[in-house]
Structures are given as structure tokens and as C-alpha cells.
Amino acid sequence: MRIIAHRGLPVLYPENSFIGMVKAYEAGADELEMDIRVTKDNVLILMHDASTAKTTCVHKYVDESHWSELENLRLNHGDTCTTERIPTVEQIFAYFQDKKIRFLLDCKREVSLQKSRVPFLLVPLVKKYGLENRVRYASAWFSIFNDFKQLTNGKAITVGNVPLQDNIVAKIATKLLLKKGLKSEMVDDLSFPFNYPFTKELKQCLDAKRGKINVYSAFDCTHHIQNSNNEDAIVSLFPFVHHIITDDVIALKQLLQKQNQ
């Protein structure tokens, strides 16, 4: 069971911050999940939303702003304005290049463009730091997966998100995934919401194609998922999932250690 640090360690530090990534790694995360957007002048940065308003209280659209307009903005943690600033992807790669950690790179599409620049900038950066075997590319946009596959001669490992709200929709989507989605060469792994009704059939299908199941999320404060802090509910996922994506690496690590005793 791998622990994926969702946006770093947002229970203690600003989401998608440099310090949050470092502390998640030090807490024992196996993989760092980060959201990636690109500025107007082609700088890849860590930012979930199209606007900086939520995490900095200053509204600027990332893809319409130059890096010089964003680099000095301070990140928030809750209601507190911290001294942390928006990190670039290159800063993260440079720091972790020689450390034993993997990356789940959630790539966002620009608001103003139909075709994203992110894959064309990110793949060369991954190669520059020799991280080809340590990254997976996630996105809600299948067109982005196609670009990653083409840019890496099919070697990129892609992760599709399943944004489901209730069990009825989930059951229908599972049938579609089993029949069509998992046969697609565009998607290797899948990420599911915490309350997804997992089945052995789904896991067997993913295992057969060597795909991995990721779950959002145990101990999740950014999505406010009901009952996601219930230990029994979390433990019940263990037979079905390969990775758990969490906002609190420390708490999940303690739970896994407790189960292994």
C-alpha cells in the first residue's frame, strides 16, 4: 500500500507549497501529488485552481499572468497568510532529484486554450531531471493523456480521475470502465472518490492490465468527504486499492502501522 501526499501536507502547511512537499516526504509519503498549471510565459507552477484567489487571496488567472506577477504572492493556510510562495515545478524536481520519492502530476488545462501547453513543457523537464521512471501523469482531460503518450512514445503512465458523487452513477461508470475505459491505451491507472463501491471484478480488471487503483482520500480536508476519517471505512479499502491519496500522511502512516502490528 503506497501513501500519496495530496498537495503535500495541507493539514499543516499550505497546499501545493514547497514546505508541504518536503514535510510530506519527511513524514514517509511514497509519492507526492501536485497540481500543475502554466503561466503566460511558460513557467510550470504548483496551483490547483485556474485563479490564485483561493490560495493567495489575490485574484490572478495563472495562464494570463507572467511568472513575475505571481512569484511573490504569499500562500495561505486556512485564514493565515504565510511566508510561503508559489513554487515552480522545476524547484520541486531540483530538490527531490536525488531523493527516493515518486510524483503524481495532476495536469490542468489552461482556461483560454483548447490544447494545453503543459505536456509539451513538462515532459522535457521530467527528462532534464531524470525522473521518467518516477512520475505518473494525471488529468481530467483525455486530450492531455494523448499528448503525454505521444511525447513519450507511449511510455508515460497516465492516471484518469473518476469524479463520481453517488453509488448509482458509480455502478454505471464501473461498467463503462470495464467495457471501454480500461481497454483504452490512453489510461493506465484510475483514481476514485473515497465512497466508490469497489468490486473484485474492477480490481481484477485493473490487475490484468497492471493498472493501479488510487483512492481520494483518507483523512481528507480539502474535499470534506463524509466519513473519510472513519478508520474502519479506510481499512475496508485496503484489499481493493493500491494507493491511498491523503491530506494527512502522518495520520495515515500511523493507521497502516497499527494494522501491520
- Residue-wise pLDDT for 17-71, tens only, equals 999 999 999 999 999 999 999 999 999 999 999 999 999 989 999 999 999 999 9
**Amino acid letter, residue 182:** L
> Is the backbone of residue 66 left (phi > 0), alpha (psi -120 to 50) or beta?
beta
- Residue-wise pLDDT for 227-258, tens only, equals 445 677 677 777 777 888 888 899 888 888 88
- Helix or strand run (H / E) with residue 53: helix 53-56
Structural domain of residue 164, as residue ranges?
2-260
Bond prior to 17 in cis (omega within 30° of 0): no
How many domains does the chain contain in total?
A: 1
d(CA 81, CA 89): 22
Q: Which single residue is written with the C-alpha cell 471505512? A: 233
CB 14 within 8 A of CB 77: yes
**Helix %, strand %, coil % of the chain (to 5):** 35, 20, 40
- Residue 67: give its domain's CATH number: 3.20.20.190
Residues 98-125: what's their mean pLDDT?
A: 91
Look at residues 261, 211, 210 and name the one whose alpha carbon lies nearest to residue 235.
261
- Residue-wise pLDDT for 66-84, tens only, equals 999 999 999 999 899 999 9
d(CA 67, CA 166): 40
Cross-strand partners of 103? 32, 135
Q: Which single residue is written with the C-alpha cell 487503483? A: 213
